[in-house]
Structure 1
Amino acid sequence: MTALHEDPERCVRIVQSHDERFDGFFFTAVLTTRIYCRPSCPAVPPKPKNMRFYPSAAAAAGAGFRACKRCRPQAAPGSPDWNVRADLVARAMRLITDGVIDRDGVPGLASRLGYSVRQVERHLMAEVGAGPLALARMQRAQSARLLIESTPMPFTEIALAAGFSSVRSFNETVREVFALTPGELRAKAGSRVPTQPGAISLKLPFRRPFCPDNLFGHLAATAVPGVEEWRDGAYRCAFRLPNGHAIAALRPLPDHIACQLRLTDPRDLTAAISRCRWLLDLDADPVAIDDQLARDEVLAPLVEKTPGRRVPRIIDPEQFAVRAVLGQQVSTAAARTHAARLVQAHGEPIDDPAGGLTHLFPTSQALAELDPESLALPRARRVTLMRLVEALNSGEVVLDIGGDWNTAREQLSALPGFGPWTVESIAMRALGDPDAFIPGDLGVRQAAQRLGLPDKPGPLVKRAEIWRPWRAYAVQHLWGTSGHPVNQMPPSDPDIP
């Protein structure tokens, strides 16, 4: 299949129509101005003969083009390819976006992927048009811009926080990528720089259509007290990062997600943004997903009613695996209660000056110290939980955004008490597999029955072949046929029922 940037006629049509749905799929460089843009740039499109197309912002920059000051192409939503696929390049891009190169270098990235440095570099150059260092450099530049425009931090501190090795390289990169000095960027931001210390405010873009109802409804309805909450129209959560922890407040608005971050260490900005986007599935391609699901005459009316549904995820895969075990064969409320008890007994206390978050979810190392007899769970489930904790700590089970989905499935399935519902729930919400499917889920079976679909797992799996590779999104539409709170935008009241 030809990559989109390799189809110039189609790319020209997209650029001429300013179609924002394709932002992040490719980038348009203009030979006469030496500037590159996102497809939806509002500027008058150049002549087709002067256009060149690249698969990434880093590739365009590497070819000698500067970012457009009007459409800010380096801030476009990420390519949905990296969340759909599980091959080497997709896994590498997910890890680079999470900041792995800044923390562990290219050898660390290659080690996480199980390939040599040369293999990783060769595959990225062939498909993305840039090597891992160039991709990381572009990401550092964008992180620096966010800190310049959203905080009063001194530039020397921003250079360190964004991952630059020196202030000189920070200045050079910012000038080269944005054609402005750091001081000029801050001056243009003007009053946008907040006076509130410790807070970084930014906009998280997404491709439209976007349905926030099930996304924020699910996160709020299943929120673990102390770790997550719905407050003043925003989902708030506390989570660990490589150099500390963060508290994020995410508020859905018509054309973006308003994000406010409080970081204990500004070096974690890149990872924090990446994980918030991951949490809300913001790099999905809703048009492709909806088009595929709407081919089914049963799902078509559901898609037409609520286009752009996303899959609600959890930032920490290991945390969700623990919560999935706690949620086996119990209600949403009971699962929250079990998780809250673990948090209070074994979570790490934190301060939250803007809300009611009190702890970080306990790590697998902390849970290894708990007494299973203290858990108000059936004995078999206590065994399942403790075996999971042991496997996570030993490396027998590896749950990672850069990991292979099927390998993780095999590792989980080998543990006692891990049936298809638990494994596929983890694949869907913790690992991000867009085709994860839970035909045995009670809500899915009830929805199938209401819609006249097979309600037994075997026949339903066969019937769902037409939904592939987007069965996880089909699940969201099936769940949406019920009146459960997970399918509805949370009330404005901060107290979650």
Structure 2
Amino acid sequence: MHTDTDACLRAVRSRDARFDGWFVTGVRSTGIYCRPSCPATPPKARNITFLPTAAAAQSAGFRACKRCRPDASPGSPEWNVRADLVGRAMRLIGDGVVDRDGVTGLAQRLGYSVRQIERAVQAELGAGPLAIARAGRAQSARILIETTTLPLAQVAHASGFGSIRAFNEAVQEVFAMTPSQLRAAKTARGRSGTSPERDPSPWQRLSLRLPFRAPFHPDNVFGHLAATGVPGVEEWRDGRYRRTLDLPGGPGIVELSPTTDHVRADLALTDLSDLTVAVSRCRWLLDLDCDPEAVDAALAEDPHLAPLVRRTPGRRVPRTVDSREMAIRLVLGQQVSTKAARTHAGRLAATFGAHVDDPGGGLTRLFPGPEALLTAGDESFAMPVTRRETIRSLCRVLSQGSLDTSAGADREEARRVLGDVPGIGPWTVESYAMRALGDPDAFPGTDLGVRIAARALGIEDRPRVIESASARWRPWRSYAVQHLWATGDHEANKLPEEDIL
């Protein structure tokens, strides 16, 4: 996108928020970089350079605009869609792999050398993996500086910096202010931070805004998460979706609630250094980095889907915060009702999930990992013998690491490995690709809801016919599925009116 100068100039001159996150605008005369929708007077074209990411702008010596806050714009939708090396690398960087394991760890996950990874990312993004991860740390630091009263030394550690000096230099370089000045400026504007609340259990609470590109239709994504929520692990309470999180530094709890221009996230963490990972996983869960206008425009070209898209533009795909959990839950849900699947999963969580002390509601457990379920006796699985054995086979594959469940997984390889598990068929594989791998073109064509909706739209209810009709929806068939599901009256298609506990 950033190489199409004319298109970028049009976006900047019209202050088009749809392009926030696609590129940033570096202004050579001032040394700052902005998002395309910056409300300031557009600079002269001769003073502008367009860059693909905030990290690239920072590496080129630009500092973030204090007015439009480009470092806090929605992420590029490109990285969630692309299945190539750079797309997989960007998803892993967003999930904190470089912060935890360095570029060496990133390269090992992707199966390439460090030099190959650095060259590929640098060539396309104008910044290497370390610079991109550093930009994410700077953003986390700003959130903690402005929304808490934590000592700055703790902020440095929590945001992933190895030293106070590196923290100070990064904040100064990115925001043209020292950490102390950044906090003072926020206090002067009348929005002083609050100290993270502490409970008898070591929770530290933070509230922040998760931006998205409009339009955003929250009903199906929040409705689906609430309707399928595992008791003790997830709940809908007081108009908010709540769930436990299994994070690198310990358990966490998140509350997510949609508003007109952002999703409010209230986090309770045991380790503040998990902030970046928690935010990344919440954005992934709600598909917040989607480009809804591109999706809707493509789907609306099909006469079957056009009326559905016009009725509710901006549908997102409900995903997951844990791919291993999703794989297990999909097998639990094979050929049973939503209620039955919730009941099975809730029983397993209550018995084998690690305990969590929820200070604000009814959450009690983390979802159990495959290692724990491998110890479960037959009496723990109230289901047919064949499905019980499928779950055990899947848990062995997951515990051995044969199925890559990381954010940077190769989608086709993951499909192959999952499909080789006895008892797992196309519906489970495609549902996993859609909800765990984030494949925008996954299509569980044998799904009963899809078949019913297709029939209602005048598409013959035969697998080959439905598959053929779906070719017109590529590469956005995962989103077409959301519109098809919404033609029914299932509770997953609407926001709950009452608490689901």
Tell me the TM-score range normalised by the shorter chain: over 0.9
Partner of 1:146: 143
Q: Distance in 2 between matches of 1:374 and 1:164?
A: 44
Q: Does 1:186 align with 2:183?
A: yes
Other-structure match for 1:230 = 236
Which letter maps to 2:390?
T
Q: Secondary structure at the match of 2:2?
A: helix
Please show how residues 28-427 of structure 1 align to structure 2 within 5 Å: 28-190=25-187, 191-195=191-195, 197=197, 198-427=204-433
TM-score of the superposition, structure 2-length normalised?
0.97
Q: Give TM-score, length-normalised by structure 1.
A: 0.98
For residues 45-92 of structure 1, the C-alpha deviation after alignment (integer angstroms, 9 at most, x for no partner) is: 011111110001111111111100001101111111111111100000
Task: Describe the superposition over 1:241-263 as per-residue Cα deviations: whole angstroms up to 9, x where unpaired.
Answer: 11111100011000000111111
User: Which runs of no fewer than 5 residues in structure 2 stay unpaired?
Assistant: 198-203
5 Å-filtered alignment, 1:476-495, equals 476-491=482-497, 493-495=498-500
The answer to whether the 8 A contact 2:226-2:500 is kept is no
* Structure 1 vs Structure 2 CA RMSD: 1.0
SS of residue paired to 1:296: coil
SS at match of 1:341: helix
Q: Is the 8 A contact 2:95 2:407 kept in 1?
A: no
CA distance in 1, matches of 2:289, 2:29: 31
Asked whether the 8 Å contact 1:21–1:207 carries over to 2, the reply is: yes
> 1:428, CA displacement in angstroms?
0.6
2:466 pairs, out of 442, 454, 460, with 460
* Residue 382 of structure 1: how far off its partner (Å): 0.5
- Is the Cα–Cα contact under 8 Å of residues 372 and 386 in structure 1 kept in the other structure? no
Aligned length: 492
Runs of 4+ off more than 6 Å: none
Post-superposition shift, 1:375? 1.1
Write the distance in 2 (CA, Å) between the matches of 1:192 and 1:219. Answer: 34
Structure 2 SS opposite 1:439: coil
One-letter identity of the residue aligned with 2:270: T
SS of the residue aligned with 1:6?
A: coil
| C-alpha distance in structure 2 between counterparts of 1:69 and 1:456, whole Å | 56
Letter of the 1:218 counterpart:
H
- The CA distance in 2 between the partners of 1:61 and 1:106, in whole Å, is 19
Name the amino acid aligned to 1:230. W
CA deviation vs aligned residue, 1:181-209 (integer Å, no higher than 9, x gap): 11122123223413551211110000011
Task: Tell me, in whole angstroms, the C-alpha distance in 1 between the residues paired with 2:217 and 2:145.
Answer: 31
Query: What is the rounded CA distance, in whole Å, between the counterparts of 1:79 and 1:128 in structure 2?
Result: 12
Distance 1:127 1:356 in 2: 46
Equivalent residues of 1:439, 1:456 under 8 A apart: no
The answer (yes or no) to whether the contact 1:454–1:463 under 8 Å persists in 2 is no
Tell me, what secondary structure is at the counterpart of 1:118?
helix
